[in-house]
Each structure stands twice: as C-alpha cells, then as structure tokens.
A and B are shown apart, each in its own frame.
Chain A
Amino acid sequence: MPESGVFFGTLQQVLRGLPYTLLLTFVPLAFAFLPGLWFGWLRAKKSVVGSRLVGAYVTLFRSLPLVLQMLFAYSWLPSLLASFVRARAWDIDVFSISPIYYALIVLFLNTVAALSEVFRAAFSAVSRHEVEAALAVGYKKRQAFFRVWLPQAVTYALPNLASATVNLVRQSSLAYLMTVPEMTARARMAAGLTFDTITAYAALLLSYVVLCFVIDTIYDVVYARVIRKMTGTLRYRGT
C-alpha cells in the first residue's frame, strides 16, 4: 500500500491539471453544439447532399484513432501553418502557439462528429406526425421546427449528450501527448518525480471517476426535471 501522504500529494498534483481537463472538455463541447445540432438535423431529415457529406465526415472521424489524430495534428498542423505564414511573410512565430489549441481543434472536430450522431437520433425520436400536425394547424415550417421538433429533440438528446461529455473527458487525456498539462500529464509528471507510478495512476483514476460521476449526475438531474416538466409525471428512471 502506498503511503497516504504520497497519495494525497500526488492527487494534489493531478488536480492542478483539472482546469485544463475541464477546458479541453467544455470548450469543444460548447463550440460543437450548434454544428452538431445542424449536422444531426441534416441527417435526420435525410437531406440528400447534407446527409451524405455529414455521413462521410462522421465515418472519417469515427474510424481514425484519436491518438493518431493528436499526433498528426501536433506534428503536422504547426509546420503547415508555418509554411502558410512564411508564404505571406507574416510576423508570427507559429511554434510559440500553445499546443492546447491543436488539442482543442482535434477534440472539437471529433465532438462535432459525435454530437451529430447524438442529435440525429434525437431528431429521429420525435414523432414526424407531431411536426405534421403543427403544419396542419397553420404553423410555418420554421415554427414547426423551433416549437415542436427542436424542443423535444434536445430533451431526448440529453442522456446521449451525457455520454458524449464523459467520453470527451476521457478523450481529453490524450492531450498529454501534446504536452498540455491536463490531469494525465500531471500524473505522469508526478510519477516521474516520485517513481511511484501506481500511486500516481491511482490518483488519476480516482480523479476521472469522480469527475465523470459529477458530470453524469448533473445531466441526470437536468434530464429528470425536463422530463417531469414535459410529461407532467416522473417517468424517468435512472440508468
């Protein structure tokens, strides 16, 4: 058993990475929300071009290992950007740009793909007959979308949105490859100093479990509330 003093010291080190982990989770999530919603809608309504393009995008990002994307972005994006800047003779030092931006871009692109699947399912879950009924009572198409289709879809999306968020927390750990000092990177640093790898990873594990539990619980509470309001009864059962 590791000493508790070492454990808590390490845990403290790991938690210094928490702001970065949260940043790497919620910034991509926030930016990906609207594109994901839009892509999901294109897929659900089976718009011919939109659906195919989005489908190809989703397939691409689902089939590429995130590690590969991270390594690729970290090694290739800066040099690409550098040649771009050089060609225009701009006075910017590309290699001083914090790697966190590259990590954010990779996570953003993946989250757009993930959320477009989440919202595709959610939009498909809403009864098309209700949307049609809205048209029949004189709604314009736009009104039917914003007043009937969208509010129900967002509600149905919440449980899968929770999964997507937790996934993103876990995916953000790969940003350590880009030397972003998030929790995993901090744990590895701590392990390097103490030579107590097991303790460092135990502290890291605990941090992720608690963080994901908190996020899940928040989503659960919100979902239960929305469902209760929507149906007038508490039909929600926790997973």
Chain B
Amino acid sequence: MLTIEGLTKRYGALVVLDNISLTIERGEIVSVIGPSGGGKTTLLRMIDLLEPADRGEMTLGDLVVDLKRPGKKTTLAVRRRIGFVFQQFNLFSHRTVKENILDALIYGHGYAKPEAEKRAAEVIAMVDLEDKTDAYPITLSGGQAQRAAIARAIAPSPDLLILDEPTSALDPELTGEVIAVIKALATQGMTMLLVTHHIGLARELADRVLVLDAGRFIEEGPVANVLEHPQTDRTRSFLERVRNLWR
C-alpha cells in the first residue's frame, strides 16, 4: 500500500536519511525504533509531506509522489489519506475536543456538518472521551489529549495511521490508556507506522520492526527476530539501553 524508494534528506552536511526504502502492506503494523537523532521523526515528516526530501519517490495506493517536489494537489491528497499522531498532541488549543475533530473532518476533508457530527461522536466513543467532548485541550491530561489527537487523526478513516512516539510525552501512569486505544485500532486492522521508544509496545503490536540508525535501516524483520536475536552490535546496544522500556 505504501512504498518508498531512495529517500534521502540532508540538513546541511548532516545526512539524516540515507537512501531509505520502505514498504508497508495494507493492514500491516510496522514499527520503527532506533536511537534519538537517527532520523525517525524526519522519516515520518517526509511521508506526510510536511517537509520536502532531497530525493525519493513514494507510492501511496494509486498516488505516485515525488518526495522532493510533490506539488500542491498531490500533497493535499497524500495528507488526506494519512492520519498523523504527534508526540506533543498538537490539538488546536482554541477549539474543544469535539471541535478539533469536526474541524478536521469539515475543513480538512470536506465533510458536511451532520456527517461530521456523527463521525465525531463515534471516534470520541472509540477513545473513551465522552465526558471531555466539550473540554478545551488545556484542561486535559496528557493521556486524554493524546487520545483526542488520535480520535482527530482516525476520524476521516485514513488509509495509514502514522504515530510519532505517541507515548513519549506522557507520564508513565498515563501511557496505558493511550496504548489501549492504539491496540484497539490494531485489532480493527488499521495500517500503522509506529515510531516508538516503547519496545514493549512494538513487540506486542508490530508485525515487523525496522531499526533506523544514522539515516539507514540497519536491521529489519519480524518482531521476534529483531528484538530477541539482533544481528548488529548497534541494535544490541540500543536495545540494552532501552531495556527498562520493554514492558
């Protein structure tokens, strides 16, 4: 459903992504792990066309995208097929939980008001935030805010859901409620690309794990293989350092 070929991104002399290729099948959950500064977030931003790449081509369903110069129309089409969950939630702070979702549907996806209302109620129930429907983001806990952000991202039924360290900005006791929502989405067959430091989450959910380090995938394969029998020293030492996040 998604393929990327030859994705390269430099910031000045620093090569952040070095000729990356990636394929994700429909219904698959792919997790990207790796040390900070390895290029994980940049990779996700390139896929959602939030930043231009230096080189690279992507196909998303029937869309063929030049990642360097995607063009306005294609950019909009790609973003409307992808749901993006940010580490810092990034809810619209002047809008309530429900308005955040309605706005995304109405202005981002051209829904009519009644359909948007119906869909918003559905996703709010899905993330268990009925009691916070009319709350403003500033009044929410981190876990509630992230669940609201997930609801906003999945409301338009995206083909692919990208999650950028969805639990990293949360207090440890609040990660559980967000993880529960992500797991529920996984059982519904949502295609996901998940960047996380939470190895336990990757192990539980992902069909496939990729290790991104210094702009290259240094390891790739089924979860059990990569996590239990890493082939490279770099992966081994990375997994060792984040061992406390395995559970």
Contacts and interface: CB of A to CB of B under 8 A. Distances in A.
Interface size class of A (residues with CB under 8 A): 20 to 34
Contact of A232 (B48, B84, B138, B156): B138
Query: Could you say which of B103, B104, B107 has the most chain A C-beta atoms within 10 Å of its C-beta?
Result: B107
Contact of B156 (A133, A138, A143, A151): A138
B94 A230 contact: yes
Q: Is the interface of A mostly helix, strand, loop or mixed?
A: helix
A147 B92 CA distance: 10
Contacts of B86: 129, 133, 136
B168 interface: no
A132 B50 contact: yes
Contacts of B79: 135-138
Contacts of B152: 137
A231 interface: yes
Contacts of B156: 137-138
A230 B104 contact: no
Nearest to B75: A135
Contacts of B104: 137-138
Interface string A137-176: 1111001000110011001000000000000000000000
A127 B135 CA distance: 19
Contacts of B80: 138
A231 B139 contact: yes
Contact of B107 (A129, A143, A233): A143
B103 A232 contact: no
Shortest Cβ-Cβ A-B pairs, 10 listed: A138-B108, A133-B90, A232-B136, A137-B104, A136-B84, A137-B108, A138-B80, A129-B90, A230-B94, A231-B136
17 contacts: A129-B86, A130-B92, A132-B90, A134-B92, A138-B76, A139-B107, A147-B103, A147-B107, A151-B94, A152-B94, A155-B94, A232-B134, A232-B135, A232-B139, A233-B136, A233-B138, A235-B138
Interface of A: 127, 129-130, 132-140, 143, 147-148, 151-152, 155, 230-233, 235
